[in-house]
């Protein structure tokens, strides 16, 4: 095979995979449409059914909020007229990095996509959750409020996707095997990261970032490939990190945002009263998920240290390390000197402009244009 043919063949293979997914999902959608058609004679019309791709399986956002809303609340709120089925995207066979494209194509009419999955193709959309940007949930809300109008407009006009809600996951913090008094002590330690901006943050502290999937956190720590890991306060607990690590730092390096969106044509095709219901209820679901994230962040820390208030996880005996004044200074300095400039470098001049029109004024932090 001639080497020059390789890029073409890779693109062709990718498009074939997408086409297969299109055909498979379209078959399911056509079956759903048939089920939604009124029956003949006196047979009552079946409920109008939606098929939803939700967030990450196994996490409280999905179990306590998303799944009950679609499988129970929607039917209750509509007196049985509207019903839905939901599957978490990581169990639906949908590649996370392809979700936005599949929404755009209408292959997935209604789906949830992690904003971190935009990093490679659309890094500008990751701006609200850069490492070190949001030291608490209140600050994250301010950051997102400044950026949201731009994000919604861009998704609508550039991708044909209607953003219906933005969800948040609990704080992503540092777990370590050895004692950790300040973030500066990450120097020389190999630290699991899940994004480019987390890698920038860890590298600026003198640590060695190791890009590792969530499923490989425990094997990596066990094998000694990493000494620390950045992950959620409660998800780390559920992974069993209190048995593998001794210290957990409370500074949120990042959080984790997700967009629940709809293909514009699919959204427009819904019955008008269903659209009205969803416009009213989805903001309430979003608010409930944000409140759940705040509770779970605190509960994860409580469980990791073995506090009596632990309710959602397994009690450990970890040392919980509070944010020191030195840590706060480091966070701000690294954000300004490393994380933001490198994001702009990866993202381009347009991203600096977007930042300076949205988040920059809200946070009092301007981005220099890419060189």
- Where residue 151 falls among pLDDT bands split at 50, 70, 90? very high
What average pLDDT does range 269-275 have in this prediction? 97
pLDDT score recorded for residue 2: 43
Classify residue 368: in a domain, yes or no: no
What are the CA-CA distances from residue 84 to residues 71, 80, 249 (Å)? 6, 10, 40
Classify residue 215: in a domain, yes or no: yes
Same structural domain for residues 183 and 240?
A: yes
Same structural domain for residues 31 and 160?
A: yes
CA–CA distance, 359 with 295 (Å, rounded to integer): 26
Query: What b-and-e string marks burial along 57-77, b requiring 16 or more CB atoms within 10 Å of the CB?
Result: eebbbbebbbbebbeeebeee
Same structural domain for residues 51 and 160?
A: yes
Domain count, the chain: 2
Quick: pLDDT tens for 322-337.
999 999 999 999 999 9
Asked if residue 220 lies in contact with residue 229, where contact means CB atoms within 8 angstroms, the answer is: yes
Same structural domain for residues 198 and 311?
A: yes
What are the CA-CA distances from residue 106 to residues 41, 82, 102, 273 (Å)? 33, 20, 6, 21
**Structural domain range at position 228:** 172-254+306-347
Asked whether the predicted pLDDT for residue 194 surpasses 80, the reply is yes
SS3 at position 23: helix
pLDDT score recorded for residue 43: 53
Same structural domain for residues 218 and 120?
A: no
Nearest residue to 184 (alpha-carbon basis) of 162, 207, 216:
207
pLDDT score recorded for residue 252: 98
Classify residue 14: in a domain, yes or no: no
CA–CA distance, 319 with 246 (Å, rounded to integer): 6
Classify residue 272: in a domain, yes or no: yes
Same structural domain for residues 318 and 245?
A: yes
pLDDT score recorded for residue 126: 95
172-176/110-114 β-pairing: unpaired
User: Is 154 buried (19+), middle (13-18) or exposed (0-12) by CB count in 10 A?
Assistant: middle
Give me the CATH number covering residue 66. Answer: 3.40.190.170
Ordered DSSP codes for 223-251: HTS-SEEEEEHHHHHHHTGGGT-SEEE--
What average pLDDT does range 306-310 have in this prediction? 97
CA–CA distance, 320 with 246 (Å, rounded to integer): 9
Strand order in the sheet with 208-211: 208-211, 190-193, 228-232, 172-176, 247-249, 319-321
Same structural domain for residues 61 and 207?
A: no
Strand order in the sheet with 110-114: 82-88, 48-54, 110-114, 257-263, 161-168
Asked if residue 97 lies in contact with residue 223, where contact means CB atoms within 8 angstroms, the answer is: no
Helices (H), the chain: 6-36, 60, 67-68, 74-77, 99-105, 137-159, 196-204, 217-223, 233-239, 264-269, 272-305, 325-334, 340-347, 349-357, 359-363
SS3 at position 259: strand
Classify residue 352: in a domain, yes or no: no
Same structural domain for residues 104 and 142?
A: yes
Same structural domain for residues 120 and 105?
A: yes
Asked if residue 159 lies in contact with residue 287, where contact means CB atoms within 8 angstroms, the answer is: no
Place of tokens 């190999």: 190
Indicate left, alpha or beta for 100 from its phi (over 0: left) and psi (-120 to 50: alpha).
alpha
Same structural domain for residues 114 and 31?
A: yes
Same structural domain for residues 127 and 200?
A: no
- In a 13 Å sphere around the CA of 309, the CA atoms on its Cβ side amount to 9
Classify residue 200: in a domain, yes or no: yes
pLDDT score recorded for residue 147: 98
Classify residue 11: in a domain, yes or no: no
Nearest residue to 126 (alpha-carbon basis) of 29, 194, 181:
194
Quick: pLDDT tens for 6-48.
443 344 345 444 444 444 443 333 334 434 444 434 455 688 9
- Which two tokens mark 301? 């820390």
Classify residue 64: in a domain, yes or no: yes
User: Is 274 buried (19+), middle (13-18) or exposed (0-12) by CB count in 10 A?
Assistant: middle
Quick: pLDDT tens for 47-97.
899 999 999 888 888 999 999 999 999 999 999 999 999 999 888 887 778
Asked whether the predicted pLDDT for residue 188 surpasses 90, the reply is yes
Same structural domain for residues 176 and 65?
A: no
pLDDT score recorded for residue 44: 57
Across the chain, mean pLDDT equals 89
pLDDT score recorded for residue 134: 98
């Amino acid at each position: 095979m001639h080497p020059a043919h390789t890029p073409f063949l890779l693109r062709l293979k990718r498009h074939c995979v997408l086409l297969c997914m299109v055909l498979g999902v379209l078959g399911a959608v056509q079956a759903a449409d048939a089920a939604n058609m009124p029956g003949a004679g006196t047979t009552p019309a079946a409920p109008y059914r939606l098929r939803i791709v939700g967030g990450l399986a196994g996490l409280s956002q999905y179990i306590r909020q998303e799944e009950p809303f679609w499988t129970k609340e929607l039917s209750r709120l509509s007196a049985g007229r509207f019903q839905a089925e939901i599957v978490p995207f990581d169990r639906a066979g949908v590649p996370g990095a392809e979700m936005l494209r599949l929404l755009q194509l209408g292959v997935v009419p209604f789906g949830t996509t992690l904003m971190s999955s935009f990093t490679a193709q659309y890094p500008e959309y990751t701006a609200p959750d850069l490492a070190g940007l949001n030291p608490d949930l209140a600050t994250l809300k301010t950051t997102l409020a400044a950026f949201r109008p731009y994000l919604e407009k861009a998704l609508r006009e550039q991708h044909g996707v209607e953003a219906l809600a933005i969800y948040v996951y609990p704080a992503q913090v540092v777990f370590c095997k050895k004692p950790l008094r300040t973030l500066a002590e990450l120097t020389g330690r190999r630290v699991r990261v899940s994004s480019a901006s987390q890698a920038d943050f860890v590298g600026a502290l003198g640590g060695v970032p190791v890009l590792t999937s969530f499923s490989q956190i425990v094997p990596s720590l066990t094998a000694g490939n990493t000494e620390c890991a950045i992950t959620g306060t409660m998800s780390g607990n559920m992974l069993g990190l209190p048995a593998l690590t001794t210290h957990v730092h409370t500074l949120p390096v990042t959080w984790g945002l997700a967009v629940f969106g709809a293909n514009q044509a699919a959204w427009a095709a819904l019955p008008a009263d269903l659209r009205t219901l969803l416009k009213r209820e989805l903001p309430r679901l979003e608010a409930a998920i944000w409140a759940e994230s705040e509770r779970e962040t605190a509960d994860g820390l409580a469980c990791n240290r073995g506090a009596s208030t632990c309710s959602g996880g397994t009690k450990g005996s970890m040392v919980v390390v509070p944010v020191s004044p030195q840590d706060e200074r480091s966070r701000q300095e690294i954000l300004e000197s490393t994380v933001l400039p490198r994001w702009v470098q990866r993202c381009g001049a347009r991203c600096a402009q977007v930042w300076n029109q949205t988040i920059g004024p809200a946070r009092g932090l301007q981005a220099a244009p890419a060189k």
